[in-house]
Chain A
Amino acid sequence: MSIELKNVNFSYPDTKVGTLNDINLSIKKGEFVLLAGESGCGKTTITRIINGLIPGFYGGNLLGEALINGKKVSEYKSYELAKVVGSVFQNPRTQFFNADTDSEIAFGLENAGEAAKTINDTLGKVTKDLNIEALRDRDIFKLSGGEKQKIAFASVYAMNPDVFLLDEPSANLDTKGIEGLKECLLKIKKFGKTVIIAEHRLYYLYNLVDRVIYLKDGKIEKEISGDEFRAMDKSTLNTMNLRSNRYIENKIDDGKAYENKENAGLNIKNLSVEYKKRIVFKNVNMDFVPGKVYCITGQNGAGKSTLLRSICGLLKVSEGEILINGLKANKKDLIKKAFMVMQDVNYQLFSDSVLNECTLGVKGFNSEKVEDTLKEMGLIEYKDRHPNTLSGGQKQRLAIAVSLMMEKDILLFDEPTSGLDYGNMLLCAEFIKRLAKKGKIIIVVTHDEEFMECCCDKKYSLK
């Protein structure tokens, strides 16, 4: 199954981001191709042209030709293309249609009108092939992100397409989830499937890649062979604004809860938290002093989010205590002092402009302070824009600006770098370091080792 793009030009109806200029690309059957480049360089756009979502679903102005096996993509009906090209997307939460795993894996086959017996046989084979028998007949809403992504993959795999398209499939996964994804990719590569993957995080693709297409501003800047890619070192990749191609094991000190003599900062003592009648974690001791960047790592389900929520005063503590500057803090005190920048920052933007966002709910502000804060976060030029039109990194900084306006001292970040490219990841690390210098207490939940390498002073792992 060969894929060919000839003189492809494309622009979205309402934005310049993701525009393509004169793309010529041909991909052979069985090739594993990585599309790399910074956010907005057009790599997602290319995947959407190949799976027909452009122009069918997203609209826009498409010139040139995209061919699959010599036939124009536009001549395939969406359901014919579905049998040839399978797509896995970025967000595990929003790509399943059913509430249970079995139905989800069978979804494509049911759409194609296969007989019940064929579907059930395939279901057995797929789950065995991908080693996910333990995930059969489960409530998808209760799976971890990594498990959801495996189901999404299985659902595509069940239809047995020749081409697999993946658009930042690792963005919301932890290290273990990425490992699982890698296994699935190894499998399909072995079966000779064609794989096209757009991705920021590169390390897990190290052994898989046959060719890298490096995009910049909607153009193919460079084509790199697999071996060339493997030979590249971190600094070369970083100058291209790409992340490392190897797993970075950081050597950051493990934080130890120390004898706190000065009573400075935030101390967590013997903390246990129950949520929905289940003990999430027990006897956690951690100390955080202002000026340092602390990272908390831990596998899925270790209770990282629960810990963050209890530090913010959103959850009741069942045992132990949280102290601020030596004084015991209850839920009310905590919620006044602490602010969390959520993984999906869309939940916490409430206003119609950047400026109004900063003043919403803030008592006694003056316009000077608003301007200073926005300047500090590099957002002053966007002050009249709707928050929704900002990029992911900008939205994050807007949330930080809000916390500064509210004069919160404890800032928590939940996976701040998920889905950020190398440049934005660095920028995020930079801002976090700056906040620490201002004397804020900074706690970051993350599994991004590369990010930790950039800014983390101490780390705690939650078990």
Chain B
Amino acid sequence: MISLDPRTKIILLGFTALFSALIPNGIYLIVWISLTAFLGIMLGRIGKTIRAAIIFAALWLFATFVLPMLSGVAHTSLLVWLGLVFKCFPCCMMAGIFIETTQIGEFMAAMSKWKIPRSVVIPIGIMFRYFPTVKEDWSHIKDAMALRGINLSPACFIKNPGTVIDAMYLPILVTASKASDELSASAITRGIENPSRRTSRLDIRIKPADVGAVILFALALIIGYLLTVGGRI
């Protein structure tokens, strides 16, 4: 098991974005997904990484063996859809690993080492913090809607779309703005606006594992690029 500096993870995410932008869908995608899965497992996010890899494998098998047998509209629309999914898959998987294996404080301290201003880092940090809160809020709101006889079924939506939409976004808006106010107040009174360099209780340094990971992914990107541009795959 290893741990990586948040900066390394950002670089790897950048590589993955480059990969998706430069290299067309093809067999090389499997290499990249395998590398990402390996990274995820090494970082200790085992279950979800394996699940993502299996989903990818299933889609890939479908695209290779089942899709050619189809024809007409089904073929075209599935082809387009799968093409899009394969384009997004590497980035989503990497981003998932990044978010789940990085603590907010660690991220903020690493950004501070890159001298990124707090006005940029703090909102990103709050966003990180906010995801699980939305999940909690959402389950309460779903309950509240059910008690009023509103649900998310298509039938209910078609009957009165306005009500369903109001019932969804109003409570989210109200609770979110209240929560973000309270969160900010609590952060300010604990000195988040301090302009000096933020530290971390964790050891944030570029270690051999970071260098190794960057080299590995950089090589994979370069080789992949050369192979595809050369038209060999």
Contacts and interface: CB of A to CB of B under 8 A. Distances in A.
Interface of A: 51-53, 56-57, 77-79, 81-83, 85-87, 89, 91, 93-100, 102-103, 106-116, 119-120, 123, 141, 152, 155-156, 159, 309, 312-314, 335, 338-340, 342, 344, 346-351, 360-361, 388, 402, 406
A116 B137 CA distance: 35
A93 B179 contact: yes
Given A103-B103, A335-B146, A348-B147, A79 B174 contact: no
A168 to B, nearest CB: 12
A36 B68 CA distance: 75
A87 B189 contact: yes
Interface residues of B, number: 53
A107 B194 CA distance: 12
B170 interface: yes
Nearest to A140: B132
Nearest to A408: B147
Interface of B: 103-106, 108-109, 125-126, 129, 132-133, 136-137, 140-141, 143-144, 146-150, 163, 166-167, 170-171, 174-175, 178-179, 182-203
Q: Which of B104, B106, B199 has the most CB of A within 10 A?
A: B199
A87 B186 contact: yes
3 tightest Cβ-Cβ pairs between the two chains A and B: A82-B191, A79-B194, A348-B144
11 contacts: A53-B189, A78-B191, A83-B191, A87-B186, A107-B187, A110-B109, A114-B199, A115-B199, A312-B147, A339-B147, A360-B148
B113 to A, nearest CB: 12
Contact of B129 (A86, A99, A156, A406): A99
A195 B144 CA distance: 39
Given A116-B200, A120-B201, A349-B170, A110 B105 contact: yes
B151 to A, nearest CB: 10
A89 B182 contact: yes
A111 B198 contact: yes
Most chain B beta carbons < 10 A, residue from A107, A119, A123, A350: A350
A141 B190 contact: no
A347 B144 contact: yes
B190 A56 contact: no
A98 B103 contact: yes
Nearest to A116: B201
Contacts of A91: 182
Contacts of A349: 170-171, 174
Contact of A98 (B129, B146, B175): B129
B144 A103 contact: no
B48 to A, nearest CB: 15
Given A99-B103, A349-B171, A335 B147 contact: yes
A156 B190 contact: yes
B193 A97 contact: no
A116 B199 contact: yes
Contacts of A86: 189-190
Contacts of A155: 190
A108 B21 CA distance: 40
Contacts of A97: 104-105, 125-126, 129, 183, 186-187, 192
A307 to B, nearest CB: 14
B182 A94 contact: yes
A348 B171 CA distance: 7
B183 A110 contact: no
Contact of B148 (A89, A93, A402): A402
Given A100-B103, A119-B199, A347-B137, A340 B191 contact: no
